[in-house]
A and B are shown apart, each in its own frame.
Chain A
Amino acid sequence: MAAEQLDEIDAYRTMWRIRLFEEAVEDLYGRGMMHGTMHLSIGQEAVPTGACAALKEGDQITSTHRGHGHCIAKGADLGRSMAELLARDNGYCRGRGGSMHIADVATGNLGANGIVAGGPPIAAGAALSNQLRGTDQVCLCFHGDGAVGEGAWHEALTLASMWQLPVVFICENNKYGMSMSSEKAFKVEHLSEKAAAYGIPGLTVDGNDVEAVFESVNTAVERARAGGGPTFIEALTYRWRGHSKSDKNLYRTREEIAQWRAHDPIAAYAAVLLERDTATQEELNAVADEVRTEIRDAVRFGTQGDEPTVEAMLAGVYAPSPVDARELGARA
């Protein structure tokens, strides 16, 4: 069921899942147990958590290169996610995809994406399919501020608007696309102003406030489900870590990072929950401890997975066709 109200403890738990999953990933990477590149969303947990809480079963998401949080908030299994990052056969993509390509199509996670703005047209296409198939599914498209610079983003919004498709674009404006400051890049005060160009609603919310994200996405999703077309939501947030491992953080100041770290979305929400008497400090601590155990289990699940094989990889390039042309050839 779509949540009319956010389940507060669930949301708190999800944010911890994302945070601790990524801390574990960072640690494994630092110890040389994980390879490749990775993009951490530590500090941004409230956006996917609040946004995905507004979805119901069957709804879809498209994600980005910084996608661990989106996947976890959409309900991805921590073990299979960790196994994928550890390049094991029991990972979501059988070790072929890694951090930038986690997908769980059966549950509506149409996939992370290594290509900036690779997702928006796909999300619009899924929404078109929802419309054509007459379902009430909604697709939520996560993308960064940097994606707004790509032609693909504009094309997706143009088409989604023309056909009033059930898609919600949620822009995680974490102030930078790699080193390019979004303030420098885009001469509007709020990226949400761009929505006007497509004739769709646009709004800017505090992306470190999980409830504000939930409320705005929930309204947009309901609107989309009812045939009201797309919405563009800009969620203001900040990534604490560098863009990826190659980042020397030369384009921003230590003070700026410290300022945003002081607005930790998880700590802020804990304070709200205590203030409201929703939970005691002990109960909140217990949530984090439970998640810590989940993450430990996930790492164990991943490290115990088998190495993938070349044979299976080669057999996995094409989906099996109903008739193999080589068989036809053999008959001729």
Chain B
Amino acid sequence: MSDLRTMTYAEAVREAMATAMTNDDRVFLMGEDVGVYGGAFGVTNDLYERFGTDRVRDTTISELGIVGMGVGAALTGMRPIVEIQFSDFLCQAMDQVVNQAAKLHFMVGGQADVPLVIRTPGGSGTGAAAQHSQSLEAWFAHIPGLKVVMPSNATDAGSLLLAALEDPNPVLVLEHKLLYKQSFEVPAEFPRAHLGEGRIEREGTDLTIVATSIEVQRSVQAAEQLAQSGISAEVIDPRTIKPLDLPLILDSVSRTGRVLLVQESAKFGGFMAEVSASIAESPAFGDLQAPIKRLCGLDTPIPYSPKLERASVPQVEDIVAAASALVGEW
């Protein structure tokens, strides 16, 4: 076992970027306020001092432009990392993400690749209100040609970013702004990860909880509380939602016979609808002892009021209640 060290999620992202830039001259970073400001969430911090302003590039407020330049640079032999300050601003860049980056390799018959990594924070919980708090993963996972990663802890934030940088496809890394300042135990070196490989975060036998991003730790906390009332919950973190590690989920569901799907974004048309449908289509469906249950954000833009904001997305107590009902009533 390698030695563990303590680092924040933001530090892990930074270290992975530094490692990539050290090992590969093609890697560079572009984004708004990623230089002297250190990034809106402090992720890039001193990288511009260490790697210079050629490789850590402050841009104007031009999301479509910077993502498009990332596409152009990736197409011609570079390995750009583009930071979008809040994932909400991917809306500005949508053409380059969806019509260009995602489709180029396919449209040109495989003549070229777009090894572009877009890193951006999503999620609610900071009081930044409706235009700065969304979780848009389902939109992007829906687009053939894109890969979508949602790291739920510091080790994954580092490992999955490095994996994204090795991938020849455009990869969207959806970080979570509430995780940035959280500290985690991290191995001395980020373990090698593969896009499309999920993980059993906690083992259990009575039900399976599949959760993404910040909801993974909320689900683990819920599982600990559930254990005290004699309910054994298994928690699965898909880590990448596209490609999705479906076998891992189906195997768990077959073993436990019950499944609770937890995401921060609104339920309607969300990522967990995909997971739910995939379970329903599979032989694991026959092993279910209870209907599939989704626990998601409310069907509302994220509100400003802290009370409303908290009520809008699944919290630990909501997961405990939903899991207890799933086990108790069926």
Interface residues of A (CB under 8 A from B): 35-37, 84, 87, 93, 95-101, 113-118, 146-147, 149-152, 177-180, 185, 246-248, 250-251, 307-308, 310, 313-314, 316-317
- B129 within 8 Å of A (CB atoms): yes
Q: Are B131 and A115 in contact (CB under 8 A)?
A: yes
- B192 within 8 Å of A (CB atoms): no
- B325 within 8 Å of A (CB atoms): no
State the 8 A-B residue pairs at the shortest beta-carbon distance, nearest first. A36-B127, A98-B304, A149-B60, A114-B131, A179-B37, A87-B305, A95-B305, A35-B127
Q: What residues of chain A lie closer than 8 Å to B301, measured between beta carbons?
A: 96, 317
Q: What residues of chain B lie closer than 8 Å to A246, measured between beta carbons?
A: 40-42
Nearest-CB residue, chain B, relative to A309:
B308
CB distance from A103 to the nearest CB of B (A): 12
Q: In whole angstroms, how far apart are the Cα atoms of A99 and B40 in the complex?
A: 18
Q: Are B126 and A307 in contact (CB under 8 A)?
A: no
Q: In whole angstroms, how far apart are the Cα atoms of A285 and B92 in the complex?
A: 47
Give B291-321 as 1s and 0s: 1 = Cβ < 8 Å from A's Cβ atoms.
Answer: 0000000111101111110011000000000
Which listed segment binds A: B61-69, B97-105, B156-164, B278-286?
Answer: B61-69
Q: What residues of chain B lie closer than 8 Å to A115, measured between beta carbons?
A: 88-89, 92, 131
Q: What residues of chain A lie closer than 8 Å to B311, measured between beta carbons?
A: 310
Q: In whole angstroms, how far apart are the Cα atoms of A87 and B302 in the complex?
A: 13
Q: In whole angstroms, how far apart are the Cα atoms of A179 and B34 in the complex?
A: 9
Q: What residues of chain B lie closer than 8 Å to A95, measured between beta carbons?
A: 303-305, 308
Q: Are A313 and B36 in contact (CB under 8 A)?
A: no
Q: In whole angstroms, how far apart are the Cα atoms of A84 and B305 in the complex?
A: 9
Q: In whole angstroms, how far apart are the Cα atoms of A313 and B63 in the complex?
A: 31
- B132 within 8 Å of A (CB atoms): yes
What are 30 residue pairs bridging A and B, where the CB atoms are less than 8 Å apart in the complex? A37-B127, A37-B132, A87-B305, A87-B307, A87-B308, A95-B308, A96-B304, A97-B129, A97-B130, A98-B305, A100-B131, A101-B129, A101-B130, A101-B131, A101-B304, A114-B131, A115-B92, A115-B131, A147-B61, A150-B62, A179-B36, A248-B37, A250-B36, A307-B305, A308-B303, A308-B307, A313-B308, A313-B312, A314-B300, A317-B299
Q: Are A36 and B37 in contact (CB under 8 A)?
A: no
- B128 within 8 Å of A (CB atoms): yes
Q: What residues of chain A lie closer than 8 Å to B303, measured between beta carbons?
A: 95-96, 308, 313
Our pick among B59, B65, B129 for the contact of A36 (Cβ within 8 Å) is B129
Q: Are B33 and A180 in contact (CB under 8 A)?
A: yes
Which of B38, B126, B308, B311 has most A Cβ within 10 Å? B308
Q: Are B308 and A308 in contact (CB under 8 A)?
A: yes
Q: What residues of chain A lie closer than 8 Å to B11, measured between beta carbons?
A: none
CB distance from B37 to the nearest CB of A (A): 4
8 Å CB contacts to A: which residues of B79-103? 88-89, 92
Q: Are B308 and A98 in contact (CB under 8 A)?
A: no
Q: What residues of chain B lie closer than 8 Å to A248, measured between beta carbons?
A: 37-38
- B35 within 8 Å of A (CB atoms): yes
Our pick among A87, A114, A146 for the contact of B306 (Cβ within 8 Å) is A87
Q: What residues of chain A lie closer than 8 Å to B312, measured between beta carbons?
A: 313
Q: What residues of chain B lie closer than 8 Å to A96, measured between beta carbons?
A: 129-130, 301, 303-305, 308
A96-B130, A114-B130, A115-B89 as given contacts; A180 in contact with B306, CB under 8 Å: no
Interface size on B, residues (CB 8 A): 39
CB distance from A87 to the nearest CB of B (A): 4
Q: In whole angstroms, how far apart are the Cα atoms of A313 and B307 in the complex?
A: 11
A36-B304, A37-B127, A317-B300 as given contacts; A250 in contact with B60, CB under 8 Å: no
Q: Are A100 and B62 in contact (CB under 8 A)?
A: no
A37-B126, A97-B304 as given contacts; A250 in contact with B61, CB under 8 Å: no
Nearest-CB residue, chain B, relative to A101:
B129
CB distance from A62 to the nearest CB of B (A): 14
Q: In whole angstroms, how far apart are the Cα atoms of A247 and B131 in the complex?
A: 20
Q: In whole angstroms, how far apart are the Cα atoms of A315 and B63 in the complex?
A: 33
Nearest-CB residue, chain A, relative to B40:
A246
- B206 within 8 Å of A (CB atoms): no
8 Å CB contacts to A: which residues of B48-81? 58-65
- B264 within 8 Å of A (CB atoms): no
Q: Are B304 and A179 in contact (CB under 8 A)?
A: no
Q: What residues of chain A lie closer than 8 Å to B175, measured between beta carbons?
A: none
Q: In whole angstroms, how far apart are the Cα atoms of A88 and B113 in the complex?
A: 51
Q: Are B33 and A93 in contact (CB under 8 A)?
A: no
Our pick among A37, A84, A87, A149 for the contact of B128 (Cβ within 8 Å) is A37
Q: What residues of chain A lie closer than 8 Å to B130, measured between beta carbons?
A: 96-97, 101, 114
Q: Are B61 and A308 in contact (CB under 8 A)?
A: no
- B32 within 8 Å of A (CB atoms): yes
CB distance from B323 to the nearest CB of A (A): 22
Q: What residues of chain A lie closer than 8 Å to B127, measured between beta carbons?
A: 35-37, 98
CB distance from B170 to the nearest CB of A (A): 20
A37-B128, A317-B301 as given contacts; A178 in contact with B33, CB under 8 Å: yes
Having A95-B308, A100-B131, A317-B301, one finds 19 other A-B pairs with CB under 8 Å, namely A35-B306, A95-B303, A97-B129, A97-B304, A98-B304, A114-B130, A115-B89, A115-B92, A146-B60, A147-B61, A150-B63, A177-B61, A178-B32, A178-B40, A178-B61, A179-B36, A250-B38, A308-B305, A314-B300
